[in-house]
């Protein structure tokens, strides 16, 4: 970001268990920008038993991905409503190449440029350990492994996509929470 430019438009990428959601929340608060978590939005929709919630409930429970068209609508509405010029951290979106392309056109339509894409890098064994220790009702080992598999297959290629665009910042996420927060702030400064 340029000096004096306080508005941040960031994407956080990282495998399940990388601490991405925690860091997105902490850093969004520090920077005073919106924390846009698609997982949280979908869980709210499930709790509210809305049309969207009924559509995604079993997909989420299995660890599979919600289709790109549905996610595109969810994110377009949210970013428009949040006034994306005011800054945001996208947490959990994009997760596939078509989603990254959809996001590019959503942002271009509002003349918004991304500042950086933070990739939290954590070793596989540590991820499994953390995921099993987490206490979400749907986190059976099978579902955890499916989420990891989909991350490797569908989401990891986004690192190359954003590296080509000069936006990727890889941050070592295998450290205590506060230390990782400092590393991220340094990486996006």
Residue nearest to ligand AMP (CB): 39
Partners of 13 in the β-ladder: 119
- We find the least distance from the C-beta atom of residue 189 to ligand AMP, in angstroms, to be 26
Q: Which of 66, 97, 107, 114 binds ligand AMP (CB under 6 A)?
A: 66
Residue closer to ligand AMP by CB (options 78, 95) is: 95
How many angstroms from the chain centroid is the CA of residue 103?
12
Give the integer Cα–Cα distance in Å for 160 and 147. 20
∠ Cα 153 157 163 (to 5°): 165
Q: Which of 24, 27, 52, 65 binds ligand AMP (CB under 6 A)?
A: 65
Give the integer Cα–Cα distance in Å for 5 and 8. 8
* Residues numbered 79-138 forming contacts with ligand AMP, rule: CB under 6 A: 92-93, 95, 99
Q: Which of 33, 42, 89, 184 binds ligand AMP (CB under 6 A)?
A: 42
Residue 91 per-residue DSSP state? E
Residue closer to ligand AMP by CB (options 48, 186) is: 48
Give the integer Cα–Cα distance in Å for 189 and 174. 20
Q: Are 103 and 152 in contact (CB under 8 A)?
A: no
Cβ neighbours of 70 (radius 10 Å): 15
* Listed ranges 57-65, 79-87, 100-108, 116-124: which one lies at the site for ligand AMP (CB under 6 A): 57-65
Residue closer to ligand AMP by CB (options 157, 182) is: 157
Residues lying near ligand AMP in the complex (CB under 6 A)? 16, 38-39, 42, 59-60, 63-66, 71, 92-93, 95, 99, 147
């Amino acid at each position: 970001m340029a000096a004096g430019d306080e508005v941040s438009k960031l994407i956080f990428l990282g495998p399940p268990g990388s601490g991405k959601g925690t860091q997105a929340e902490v850093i969004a608060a520090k920077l005073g920008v919106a924390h846009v978590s698609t997982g949280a939005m979908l869980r709210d929709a499930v709790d509210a038993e809305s049309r969207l919630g009924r559509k995604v409930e079993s997909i989420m429970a299995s660890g599979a991905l919600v289709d790109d068209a549905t996610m595109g609508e969810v994110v377009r509405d949210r970013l428009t409503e949040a006034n994306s010029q005011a800054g945001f951290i996208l947490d959990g979106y994009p997760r596939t190449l078509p989603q990254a392309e959809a996001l590019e056109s959503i942002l271009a339509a509002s003349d918004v440029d991304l500042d950086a894409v933070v990739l939290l890098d954590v070793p596989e064994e540590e991820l499994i350990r953390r995921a099993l220790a987490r206490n979400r009702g749907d986190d059976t080992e099978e579902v955890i492994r499916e989420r990891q598999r989909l991350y490797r297959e569908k989401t990891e290629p986004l690192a190359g996509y954003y590296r080509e665009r000069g936006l990727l910042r890889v941050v070592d996420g295998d450290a205590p929470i506060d230390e990782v927060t400092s590393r991220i702030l340094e990486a996006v400064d």
